[in-house]
């Protein structure tokens, strides 16, 4: 039985904590808790904890659950008591979360908007894909920078020669033949060196993604039977979705991935709007790339 209800407003260097008993009365309040790990070590099966979703919350939720306590990860964008509060302070947030947790578990008068906590495997894959996407953006940035520098020098390379310039094997030899100003030459050289380093790092990340995703191999084998789906795209989809059973309908899953645009229906007329920018975009990005690949093949 849950006897204590902890509302924890966690920050980088400290946390504000409000604790309620079974009657909903505050029995403890810590304005500044500097050692959250030590506090969590004192929890047990009679405790329930609620925290806002933010960077590092999943780690602390794991620590709470390891002590046998219940842990809820609150979605602050859907929790109106915090979202619409005109007096938003650490003290009020901690107390509001603790009170909401008590009401939910004791009286069951209303629910709590929580965030899904994926498994450690899925979280590891998401971290790797996050780095993979970051490296892709940096690669694109350096390629665009090189092209802009060449354009400033009146150079428009054919596709084949441009590919040779960007390749680590032939890049420097192609660069020597180009008529560039001293500043442009050193700028292109630096960009090429960085580009090649990033491409090597991307290759390492790709290998680590496949290694980490080995437990999901059966699901990957099933997904790659779909034309245009590569093992990397399949793992990205599995990392985004995590547990497909948490979606009641296919439309809800597509909306989660940002594939369903907003729609307005009035007077027999239907108008499609934008997609949800807050959705997970990894799968959407890779699927879009797959479509272009299929179209050009």
Mean pLDDT of 12-33: 93
Alpha-carbon distances of 290 from 15, 222, 226, rounded to whole Å: 44, 17, 11
Long-range CB contacts for residues 100-109, cutoff 8 Å, separation at least 24 = 100/7, 100/50, 100/74, 101/5, 101/6, 101/7, 101/20, 101/48, 101/49, 101/50, 101/72, 102/5, 102/20, 102/24, 103/24, 105/2, 105/5, 105/48, 105/70, 106/22, 106/24
Summary mean pLDDT of the chain: 88
pLDDT, tens digit (0-9, with 9 covering 90-100), for 74-124: 998 888 766 566 567 888 889 999 999 999 999 877 888 899 999 999 999
pLDDT at 160 over 70: yes
Mean pLDDT of 7-24: 93
Question: What is residue 81's predicted lDDT score, i.e. its pLDDT?
Answer: 67
Cβ neighbourhood burial of 290 (10 Å; 0-12, 13-18, 19+)? middle
- Greatest alpha-carbon span in the chain: 80
pLDDT, tens digit (0-9, with 9 covering 90-100), for 125-146: 999 999 999 999 999 999 999 9
Q: pTM of the predicted model, to two decimals?
A: 0.82
What pairing do the DSSP bridges indicate for beta strands 70-74 and 47-52? parallel
- Determine the 3-state secondary structure of 52 from DSSP: strand
- Using pLDDT thresholds of 50, 70 and 90, give the confidence band for residue 201: very high
pLDDT, tens digit (0-9, with 9 covering 90-100), for 266-295: 666 777 766 666 667 777 777 777 776 666
Mean pLDDT of 155-166: 92
What pairing do the DSSP bridges indicate for beta strands 47-52 and 4-10? parallel
- Using pLDDT thresholds of 50, 70 and 90, give the confidence band for residue 228: confident
pLDDT, tens digit (0-9, with 9 covering 90-100), for 43-52: 999 999 999 9
């Amino acid at each position: 039985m849950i006897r204590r209800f902890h509302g924890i407003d966690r920050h980088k260097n400290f946390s504000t904590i409000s604790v309620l008993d079974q009657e909903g009365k505050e029995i403890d309040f810590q304005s500044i808790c500097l050692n959250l790990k030590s506090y969590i070590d004192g929890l047990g099966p009679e405790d329930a904890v609620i925290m806002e979703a933010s960077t590092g919350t999943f780690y602390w939720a794991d620590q709470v659950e390891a002590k046998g306590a219940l842990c809820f990860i609150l979605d602050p964008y859907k929790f109106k008591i915090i979202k619409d509060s005109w007096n938003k302070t650490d003290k009020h947030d901690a107390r509001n979360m603790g009170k909401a947790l008590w009401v939910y578990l004791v009286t069951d008068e209303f629910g709590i908007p929580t965030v899904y906590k994926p498994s450690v495997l899925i979280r590891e894959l998401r971290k790797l894909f996050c780095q993979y996407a970051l490296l892709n953006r940096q690669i694109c940035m350096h390629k665009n920078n090189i092209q802009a520098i060449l354009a400033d020098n009146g150079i428009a390379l054919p596709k084949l020669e441009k590919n040779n310039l960007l390749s680590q094997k032939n890049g420097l030899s192609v660069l020597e033949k180009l008529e560039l100003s001293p500043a442009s030459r050193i700028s292109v050289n630096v960009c090429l060196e960085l580009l090649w380093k990033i491409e090597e790092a991307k290759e390492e990340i790709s290998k680590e993604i496949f290694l980490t995703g080995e437990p999901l191999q059966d699901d990957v084998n099933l997904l790659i039977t779909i034309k245009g789906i590569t093992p990397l795209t399949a793992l990205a989809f599995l990392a985004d979705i995590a547990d497909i059973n948490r979606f009641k309908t296919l439309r809800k899953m597509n909306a989660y991935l940002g594939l369903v645009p907003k729609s307005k229906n009035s007077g027999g007329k239907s108008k499609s709007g934008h997609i949800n920018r807050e959705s997970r975009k990894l799968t959407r990005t890779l699927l879009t790339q797959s479509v272009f690949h299929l179209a050009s093949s």
